[in-house]
Amino acid sequence: MAGYLVLGKHHVSGKRHDAGSFALCRQAVGAMLMIVSAYARHGSVLWSCRREHYWAIVKLGLLNYLNAICFIWGFKLTTPFVASVSQLSVPVMTYCYTTSVGLEAPTCRKGAGVCLIVLGCLLTAIGSSTDKSEHHAAMPSGVMLWLGLASLTLQTSSFSAMLVVQKPILDHYPVAVVVAWGYSAGAVFSLASSVLDGSIRTVPGHFNSPTAISIIIYSATIGALAYFELICFATKHLPASFVACSVALEPLAVSLLGILAFHYEVSALESIGYAIAMLGVAAMASVIVAEGPALSSPRRRPHHVAPKEFA
């Protein structure tokens, strides 16, 4: 995802390419790949969505669209660094929501794990922000910055909601099928949005050079197909709050990309941040081991067991 952030920022920076049409291209190509992948692995199951799940798929599609478009506008109007740091709010929002509605039982170790991960990543972000090397883009100011931050706030909220909405659907269908449905519905919302704001007219510009085509393909494969299948698979087997913590590690990945690609030297504060974040991950992992595969709270409704061919 760190690579998608950096490449995406380069692709939509300035007036080079429109953010709305970039989201449409990425989602359209990604949705086609997801449909092909799901059909190749599960066949006719792809067309077997039950009527009672239609509305959930629509909501999942809307959340996918908001997550995609707001993320792109967020890093277009700010920087990849700011966009990655904003993901620190995802585990906090997800944990608060899942515990408040009874999807997960609140425990001290879970809360401590979330806090340690956020604290560690925040320290890493603060330490990294003092670096002036070329991998840190100039920070915008004024209205554009606030619009970018507002977009990232909506994006992180949408991502947290997406984790919660898709979890019960995964009790009935394979991971690849749910990903294909949700992302395809998101592509439909993206198409409608592009038609309404006129950005669909700029779609050909995203395929006018080998570099632009490569960025679209990378964004649709690594940044969409692989990323969302991994997230969905993890959501199926782990608590949503734990999956959300993996997203919070994104600032660490962005810093690591700077170290590898730009020979950036790690500061003492960043090293401490890495250590604390990893301690938080270990704390959350210990909860998974201790609670076992059920990970259910007293108020959680039992799920229906999927038929063997859906497993």
Give residue 304's pLDDT band: very low, low, confident or very high (50, 70, 90). Answer: very low
Most confident of 13-17, 281-285, 298-302: 281-285
Phi, psi of 161 (to 5 degrees): -65, -35
- Residue 174 CA to residue 233 CA, distance in Å, equals 9
Taking the alpha carbons at both ends of the chain, their separation in whole angstroms is 28
Each residue of 211-225: pLDDT tens digit?
889 989 999 998 899
Return the pLDDT at 33. Answer: 96
Return the pLDDT at 29. Answer: 95
Angle at 78 between CA 72 and CA 82, to 5 degrees: 95
Each residue of 158-206: pLDDT tens digit?
998 998 899 889 999 999 999 999 999 999 999 999 999 998 999 998 8
Q: Could you count the other beta carbons within 10 Å of the beta carbon of residue 15?
A: 6
Which sequence spans correspond to the domains of the chain?
Answer: 2-293
Task: For helices 250-262 and 2-12, give the axis angle rounded to 10 degrees.
Answer: 70
Q: Give the percent of the chain with pLDDT over 90.
A: 32
Contact 283, 112 (CB under 8 A): yes
Token output for 47: 């067309």
Each residue of 102-154: pLDDT tens digit?
777 788 877 888 888 788 777 766 776 655 444 444 556 667 778 888 898 89
Q: What pTM value is reported for the model?
A: 0.78
- Residue 223 CA to residue 225 CA, distance in Å, equals 7
Most confident of 84-98, 250-264, 284-298: 84-98
- Exposed, middle or buried by CB within 10 Å (0-12, 13-18, 19+), for 186? buried
Taking alpha carbons only, the member of 217, 201, 165, 215 closest to residue 57 is 165
Residue 59 pLDDT > 60: yes
- Residue 206 CA to residue 136 CA, distance in Å, equals 25
Contact 36, 176 (CB under 8 A): no
